[in-house]
Amino acid sequence: MKPVNLMMISAAMMLASCNTQDTGNAKPIGKSNIKIEGKRMTPEALWAMGRIGGLSVSPDEKQIAYTVAYYSVEENKSNREVFVMNVDGTDNKQITCTPHGENEVVWIKGGSKLAFLCTESGSSQLWEMNPDGSGRKQLTNYDGDIEGFAFSPDGKKLLFISQVKTVKGTADKYPDLPKATGIIVNDLMYKHWDEWVTTAPHPFVADFDGNGIGNIIDIMKGEPYESPMKPFGGMEQLAWNTASDKVAYTSRKKTGMAYAVSTNSDIYIYDLKTKETVNMTEGMMGYDTNPQYSPDGKAIAWLSMERDVYEADQNRLFVMNLETGGKHFAGKAFESNVDDFCWSNDAQTIYFTGVWHGKTQIYALNISTGSVKQVTEGVHDYASVAPCGDKLIAKRHSMSIADEIYTVGINDGQATQLTFENQHIYDQIEMAGVEERWIKTTDGKQMLTWVVYPPQFDPKKKYPTLLYCQGGPQSAVSQFWSYRWNLQIMAANGYIIVAPNRRGLPGFGLEWNEAISGDYGGQCMQDYFSAIDEMSKEPFVDRDRLGCVGASFGGFSVYWLAGHHDKRFKAFIAHDGIFNLEMQYLETEEMWFANWDMGGAYWEKNNPVAQRTFDNSPHKFVAKWDTPILCIHGKKDYRILASQGMAAFNAAVLRGVPAELLIYPDENHWVLKPQNGILWQRTFFEWLDKWLK
C-alpha cells in the first residue's frame, strides 16, 4: 500500500470553513478535503470521514441538532462539532468551530436554546447556546467532570453523571508516599475494560434556575456502586418521569467478586420528594437496563435479560403499568434482541431496532395487542430511532456507507436521507459489491453469509479470499460499518471477503444464538469451514490464496483454526484474541462471561462442558501450526490481556512459523488513536499482501 501524506490531509482538515470562534492557541479540527487517487478506499480516507454522533429533535419537531467527530492524523486526536438542520434536511449548518469537543447536544428551554457538554473551561461542564451557535454560556462549574446530563421535563432540575471515588489509593494509606504507583488489591474487579477501578459513575440531581445549578444530591447516597454501568453505559440508563419528581436509574448494586460473577442489574426509582429508592425489577435476575417513561406517564419500558451471568441472553422489551405495578414481556413476538427504542408521542406504540437475518430494521410494537410490525426494509442497519410527528428520525449505515441521518415514514417505512457527511469521499471511491448468500452447514442448516467482492470484480479472474471471523462472540454479522474492520477497504485491496453468520449469533432465533456457549471449538468452527469451503468452489476464488482474519472471539477463532485448518489457509491475522483459555479464565475481569461461556473453571474435572471448552484451547494445538500469522494486541486490554497475543506470537516463533507482532502500549480492546489506526491498516495489508499476493 502506498502511504498518503498525512500532513496534507491534516492541513486540509484545518482549512475547512466554519464559524469563527475564539479558540485560543488551539485549532479546531474540521471536515477533511482529502483527495483520493485511484478510486480506492484507503486508511487515510477512513480516518478523514466525519463520524455522526448523537442527535436531538427540537420540541416543535422542526429541527434536528446533531454532532460530528472529526480526526486529525497529524495531531493524533479528534474533536466534535455541532450541526443544526431542518427535519427535511434543508438549511444544514455547522454552528460550532472550536477545539473544545462539544458533545451530547439537546434542545432545552422550549427549543430556544441548545445544551451541550464542553471542555472549554478545562473540565467537562454543561453549556448552552442559541440554535445558531451564538450566545455560548457556561451553566455549571461542578467540581468534577460531567459525563452526561438530562433536564427534567419541567426544566427546573438537572440530572447528571459524574465519578465518585470508591477505592482508597496508596497515598490515602501512606501519605508519605505520594509518588508511589503501586496498587494494593484485595478483591476482584480491580480492573475493567481499560482502567484500574478507583471510581464509579453516580447520578446526581441539582436544582436549575435557568442560569446555573444548586442543591446537588447524589441519589445513590454515596453507595460504592455504579450507575450507569461501566464500561459503556451512559444517559440511556437513566430517565426522568413526566412529573419531574422521580428518576429511574440502572445499577448492579454489587462490588468486588459479587460484581465479577453476576450480570444481575436492576432498575431503581428514586423519589425526589420522599428521598426513598425502590427496586422496580426485584427478582428479575439478568441485565435490566435503559428505562424510558411513556409520554403520558402511565408506564415505563426497559430492556431485560432473563438469566443471571449470561450477558448475551435475549434482550427483551418489558413494560410496566405504573398504576397497577404489572409488568410483562411486551416484545415477545420478536425473536431477537431489541437494541434502541423509543415511545410514540401518544404512548400507544414503541418503535425499536433489532437484527434479523443479518439486517437491523425498525419495528413497531403495538402496546395494547403485543403485535410487532416491521417498518423498514433494505440491506442496511438502523442504529437509532426517535419520534418526530408522523415520521421517525433514525441513524443508518451499511457495509458500504457510514452512519447518516434519515427520516422514516411511520406508515410506509420510506426512508429519506438527510445528511451527506462523507459524500465528498464516497464520490471519489468505487465501492465493492455486497452479496447475500445462504450456505449449507455440516449439520444441514442454512447459514447467511455476506460476500464482498473487489471493485470492478471480474468473475473470469481468480482472487485471494479472506474468511472474516466475527467477535462478540454473540455479535451479529449484520450490515455493520467499521473504521478498522472495514470490509470495503479489504475488498479495495483486491480481496474477496467471506463473512458468515456462524453459530452463536443473534438474528436467527434463540437456538442458533445460544449454540456457541460451552462449545467454542464445536459447530461454530465447522460453520467457518462450511463457508470458506463452499466459496472455494467458485472459479473466481483462488484456493491457493486463502487468508483468515478476526478480532476478540474472532481472534480466538483464528488461533483455533490455525491448528485445525488442514492447510486451507496461507495467512492468519488475530487481533486481541484468546490463545490460552485456561489463562483467560483467570485473567479476564468479567467472570460471569467466563463462567457461562466456558462452562466453569478448568479445574472442575467432573464438569464435562468446562473440560470440553478447555480441551479446545488453541494453545494445545500449536504443534499443528504451519502457516504465517500476525498477532495484534493492546496492552490496555483488560478483557483479553496482551499476554495472550504475545504468547501466541512466541509460540509461532518457537515453532519456526513466520510470525509478526503488533503491540500497542496505549490501546485497549480497540484501536482508537488515528495514527495507531492507520498503522494497524498498513500492517494488516502488508502482511496479507506478503503471503497472499
What is the per-residue DSSP string for 567-597? Answer: T--SEEEEES--S-HHHHHHH-S-HHHHHHH
For residue 20, name the pLDDT band (cuts at 50, 70, 90): very low
Question: Residue 8 pLDDT more than 80?
Answer: no
Taking only the tens place, the pLDDT of each residue in 566-624 is 999 999 999 999 999 999 999 999 999 999 999 999 999 999 999 999 999 999 999 99
What is the Cα Rg of the chain in Å?
Answer: 25
CA dihedral 83, 87, 92, 95 (to 10 degrees): -30
Question: Residue 9 pLDDT more than 80?
Answer: no
Helix/strand/coil for 562: helix
**What's the mean pLDDT in 329-351?**
97
Tell me the backbone φ, ψ of residue 499, rounded to 5 degrees.
-125, 90
Q: Say what the pLDDT of residue 26 is.
A: 77
**CB proximity list for 251: less than 8 A, separation 6 or greater:** 220, 225, 226, 227, 229, 265, 266, 268
Question: Residue 263 pLDDT more than 70?
Answer: yes
Domains along the chain? Answer: 330-428 (2.120.10.30), 430-589+618-692 (3.40.50.1820)
**What's the mean pLDDT in 346-363?**
98
Answer yes or no: are the C-beta atoms of 574 and 690 closer than 8 Å: no
> Grid coordinates representing 304?
431485560
Question: Residue 315 pLDDT more than 60?
Answer: yes
For residue 18, name the pLDDT band (cuts at 50, 70, 90): low
Q: Say what the pLDDT of residue 27 is.
A: 85
CA 393, CA 353: separation in Å to the nearest integer?
Answer: 12
**CB proximity list for 12: less than 8 A, separation 6 or greater:** 32, 33, 34
Residue 552 among the catalytic residues: yes
For residue 16, name the pLDDT band (cuts at 50, 70, 90): very low
> Grid coordinates representing 635?
496492552
Whole-angstrom CA distances from 128 to 83, 157, 340, 580 are 14, 15, 27, 51
Answer yes or no: are the C-beta atoms of 97 and 82 closer than 8 Å: no
Element (H or E) spanning 533, and its range?
helix 523-535
What is the residue-averaged pLDDT of the chain?
A: 95
**What's the mean pLDDT in 239-259?**
98
Q: Say what the pLDDT of residue 37 is.
A: 87
Residue 669 among the catalytic residues: yes
Among the listed residues 308, 339, 527, 637, the single catalytic one is 637
Answer yes or no: are the C-beta atoms of 610 and 598 closer than 8 Å: yes
Among the listed residues 10, 552, 557, 617, the single catalytic one is 552
Residue 443 among the catalytic residues: no
Taking only the tens place, the pLDDT of each residue in 398-410 is 999 999 999 999 9
Q: Which amino acid is at 101?
A: G
Percentage of the chain surpassing pLDDT 90?
Answer: 95
CA 51, CA 225: separation in Å to the nearest integer?
Answer: 32
CA 537, CA 543: separation in Å to the nearest integer?
Answer: 8
**What's the mean pLDDT in 652-656?**
98
